[in-house]
Structure 1
Amino acid sequence: MSRRGRNARTVIGLGVALAAGAALLFGSPAQSGEPQPIPLATAWPNAARGSAPSKLPDGSEFSPALFLDARTAIGTTQSADAKTLRLIVRDGDGKVTELRRVPAEHRAPFAAVTSSGDTLIWVESVQGKQQLWSADRRAPKSARMLTADVGAMRFYDSEHDLIVADGTVHWVASGAGDQTEFRSVALTGGPVAVTREKGTWGLSGWPWAVDGQTSARGATALRNLTTGASVAVPSADRTVTACSTAWCQVVSINEDGYSRIDLSHPDGSARRKVLEGNVATAITDVAVLDRFEVLAKITTQSELTGNQQLLIYDLTNRHLVLISPDAGNIAYRAGVLWWSTGDQSSFVRNSLDLRTI
C-alpha cells in the first residue's frame, strides 16, 4: 500500500467491509451531543510545531516521507531538469542534503523511510525490483544498499513497515500460499534471516506482529516473534479491528448509521468510546505513542475543499483536540504528525511533534 493515498487515507482503518458505507456517512449531518474539541494552542501550547512551503527554493515540489522533528524532513523531490528523482534531507533552516538519486522514469522509487539515530533506512524500487538501502543523514555520499534479498515486501502505510531494533532491520513479505515471511538483516548488511507464519501478518512494534492485515474484520491476534507468546484479540460482527501492542481500535456502524470508534487494550479491557458520528481514522497506526488516536471528520467546509477536520483523541485525559479545521495529505511517522493546508496549487505543510507534548 502506498503512502501517497492522499485524502483516501481518511477511511484507512475502517476496512473493506465498511469503506463504502463510511464514504456515504461523510456527507451526513453531525449528531447532536458530539464533544467539542479543544484548540491545539489551548490544549498543548508548548508542543513543537513547524510549517514550510511545499516547494524547495528551486521551485521543485517536495514530498515528505518522514519527519525527524517538527522542522526536519526526509522526502522526495524531482530535479530541476526533471530527469531524476532525489531523496533528500530538508533541514529547518532550509538546507537541503541529497542522499540518493534515480532516473525520473522510476515513479515513487523511495518508500517506507525510517530512521535509527542518524541512520536512515528505506526501500528503493528501480526497474520493478526492490532493495533495502541506508545512509547517514548528515553525509551526502554515504548511501549504500543493505540487501536486494527482500522478498515480495508488504507495505501497510504504517510506521512499522520497516522496524529497526538491536541493530537489525525487520519487515514482512508475502510467502508461498497463505503465509507471511518475517525477514531481517543487520544494519551493516549481510545475509537475510527468514521465518514463516501462516496468515497475513504485519509488524506492530518490535517484537510483536498482528494478523488480519487483509481481512475484512481485521485483527484477531498479536504474536511475540521472540517468545512465540500470543494474545487473542476480541472481535465481533460488523466491526473492523486494528491493533498496536498497547491498544486496539474497533470501528463499527451504530444503530443510527454513523461510524463509531472505540479503543481497548488487546485483551478487551479498558474499553472506551472515542468518537461517534461522521468520523473516521486518519492514519493506519493505532493510538500512536500509546496515547494519541488520530481522527478525521468531514464538515461542510470539507465538501468545498476536499480536505477534512483533523482531530486527536488524547487517551491520558480523554480530551478531543482540534489540530486543523481544514487538513489534507495527513501522515504520521515516528512521533511526528504532518498535514497540508491550502489547495493543490498553493499549500503549506504543517507538522506537530507529538513527542513534545
Structure 2
Amino acid sequence: MGSRLFTRPSPALVLALAAAAVWIALPIPERTPTGSPVGPAVRSVAEEWPGTTPAEFLGTFFDGTPFTPLLYLDELTVVATAPTPDGERVRLVVYTPGEEARELATLSADDAPGFTAVAADDERIVWTQTVPDAKGVARTGIWTAPAGLAEAEAVRVTADTGDALFTGSQYDLQIAGGSVHWAAGTRGSAPATELRSHPLSGGETTTVTLEGEFAWSAWPYAVSNGGAAGEGVLLADMAAENTTVIPVETGALATCTPVWCRVLALGMAGPGGTELMRTDGSQRRRIADERTSAAVPDPMLLDRFEVLLDVSAADADGQPLLIFDQVSGKTLLVASDARIVRARGATVWWSTGDEETLKWHALNLARLE
C-alpha cells in the first residue's frame, strides 16, 4: 500500500506561507443583507418553473417490501436497499418501476450498518459493505458491478479500507480518474485522516494522510471539518497539493465545498440562522432564520441550490422541503410533507407517507433553468 503524508501546518507556518501567497487567507467580508424575509417560502417550485413535476413512484416492490433509495442513476432508476420478504436479509438492488429489481448483493439483517455508501458512473456501480467480523469489529469492503438492469456478478474491489468514514455526504465514496476514493480515520493520539484510493482495474490502495479531521469534497478536493473555533476551514487540492484557508469567525460552523460554504451562527440555543458565502469570502448573505435547518449534508447542490427544511412547521405528516436559489435569491417550496430527504448531484429526493402509503419523489435540479 502506497502512502504519503500531507501535513497540516502550524499557525506560524500558515502565516508565513500566507505572506508568500502560497496559502490564501481572506478577511471576513460584510454580510450582504437579504431583500426578503428568510422564513418559510411563499412560492413553489412549480409556480416558479411552470411544468416542473417531480418524478414519483410507490415505495414498495411487487413483493410488498419497502425500499429506500441510496442513489438516483436517472429520474426513474435507483440504487436502493430493501429487506427480503421474511425480513432476515437486506438487499442492495437497482430498480426501475415496472421492471424487476436487479439484486447486486445481500447481507444479513443483523449485519449493521450494512450498505454504507454507493457511487456510480456510466459503466459501473460501486458500493461499500460494512459488517462486523467474528470479534464484532466493523470491517468495510468495496464492491462493484456493471451499471444497468442486466444481471452481472459483483466483484470485490478491495478490503483494504482502513477505518472507513461515512457521513451521508455525496462525496463519501466517489469515482474519479479510474479509481474509487474514500476517507478513513486513524487511531493515533492526534487526529488525522487518511484519504484512500484504489484503482478499479486492480492494484494497491494508496493513502495520503492529512493531519486533522478531513473529508472528501468534490474531486480532487478535501475539506476540514468545522472551523467553529475561528481557525478557518482548510480546503486541500489533492491534485495540486496545496491548501487554502477559508476564513470562519469564532462562534460559526462552516460546511464547505470548493466553491461555497454553508455557515451556521452558533448560539446558546443552537444555530441562529443559515448564511452562504463563496470560499473566497465573497457574496456572503443570510438565507434562512432559526426556523429552518439544512436538509442534506452537502451545501449548494450544482453550486446554486441550498436544500432546507422548515422545522417550525413539522408535524406527523412531515415538514416543508425548501430550496434557496442563489441566482434569483428566492426560497421556494418543493414539498409540504417531506419525511426522509436525501440528495446526490443534481437530484434531491424525499419520501411521503409510510407503510402502505409510502412514496418516493425526485426533483432534478438541473431542469430548473
- Give, in whole Å, the separation in 1 of the partners of 2:367 and 2:205: 36
Match of residue 303, structure 1, among 305, 309, 315: 315
Q: How many angstroms does 1:175 deviate by? A: 2.1
Would you say the 8 A contact 1:223–1:230 is kept in 2?
Answer: yes
Query: In the alignment, which residue of structure 1 is the partner of 2:66?
Result: 61
- Give, in whole Å, the separation in 2 of the partners of 1:212 and 1:34: 27
Match of residue 268, structure 1, among 276, 281, 294: 281
Match of residue 305, structure 2, among 287, 292, 297: 292
Query: In the alignment, which residue of structure 1 is the partner of 2:198?
Result: 185
More divergent stretch after superposition (103-112 vs 226-235): 103-112
Q: What secondary structure, in the 3-state scheme, does the structure 1 residue paired with 2:315 have?
A: helix
Q: How many angstroms does 1:194 deviate by? A: 0.8
Structure having the higher Rg = 2
Q: Which has the higher contact order (CA 8 A, sep 6+)?
A: 1
Q: How many angstroms does 1:170 deviate by? A: 0.9
Spell out, residue by residue over 1:307-352, the C-alpha distance to the aligned partner (whole angstroms, 9 max, x if none): 2211000111112110011111111112211111124563211111
More divergent stretch after superposition (233-242 vs 289-298): 233-242
Q: Tell me the TM-score normalized by structure 1.
A: 0.84
2:76 is the counterpart of 1:71: yes
Aligned AA (1:70): E
- Give, in whole Å, the separation in 1 of the partners of 2:217 and 2:319: 27
Aligned AA (2:183): V
- Give, in whole Å, the separation in 1 of the partners of 2:267 and 2:226: 24
Would you say the 8 A contact 1:48–1:356 is kept in 2?
Answer: no
Change (3 A) 1:161 1:213: farther
2:147 is the counterpart of 1:134: no
5+ residue gaps, structure 1: 1-30
Would you say the 8 A contact 1:211–1:218 is kept in 2?
Answer: no
Aligned AA (2:152): K
- Give, in whole Å, the separation in 2 of the partners of 1:219 and 1:71: 40
Q: How many angstroms does 1:258 deviate by? A: 7.2
Report the number of matched residues: 325
Match of residue 97, structure 1, among 93, 102, 105: 102
- Give, in whole Å, the separation in 2 of the partners of 1:91 and 1:261: 36
Q: How many angstroms does 1:147 deviate by? A: 0.2
Would you say the 8 A contact 2:163–2:184 is kept in 1?
Answer: yes
Q: What secondary structure, in the 3-state scheme, does the structure 1 residue paired with 2:54 have?
A: strand
Would you say the 8 A contact 1:88–1:98 is kept in 2?
Answer: yes
- Give, in whole Å, the separation in 2 of the partners of 1:105 and 1:34: 42
Question: After superposition, where does 1:134-213 map in structure 2 within 5 Å?
Answer: 134-138=144-148, 139-177=150-188, 178-212=191-225
- Give, in whole Å, the separation in 2 of the partners of 1:182 and 1:166: 15
Change (3 A) 1:335 1:276: same
Would you say the 8 A contact 1:74–1:87 is kept in 2?
Answer: yes
Q: What secondary structure, in the 3-state scheme, does the structure 2 residue paired with 1:303 have?
A: coil
5+ residue gaps, structure 2: 1-35, 133-137
Q: What secondary structure, in the 3-state scheme, does the structure 1 residue paired with 2:86 have?
A: coil
- Give, in whole Å, the separation in 2 of the partners of 1:190 and 1:270: 44
Would you say the 8 A contact 1:259–1:279 is kept in 2?
Answer: no
Change (3 A) 1:62 1:257: closer
- Give, in whole Å, the separation in 1 of the partners of 2:229 and 2:125: 34
- Give, in whole Å, the separation in 2 of the partners of 1:216 and 1:57: 52
Q: What secondary structure, in the 3-state scheme, does the structure 2 residue paired with 1:355 have?
A: helix
The sequence identity of aligned pairs, in percent, is: 30
- Give, in whole Å, the separation in 2 of the partners of 1:106 and 1:333: 25
Match of residue 115, structure 2, among 110, 117, 129: 110
- Give, in whole Å, the separation in 2 of the partners of 1:33 and 1:270: 16
Would you say the 8 A contact 1:74–1:90 is kept in 2?
Answer: yes
Runs of 4+ in 1 over 6 A off after TM superposition: 214-218, 254-258
Aligned AA (1:251): L
Would you say the 8 A contact 1:120–1:136 is kept in 2?
Answer: yes
- Give, in whole Å, the separation in 2 of the partners of 1:99 and 1:183: 24
Query: In the alignment, which residue of structure 2 is the partner of 1:9?
Result: none
Q: Tell me the TM-score normalized by structure 2.
A: 0.82
- Give, in whole Å, the separation in 1 of the partners of 2:92 and 2:254: 35
Match of residue 249, structure 2, among 236, 245, 252: 236
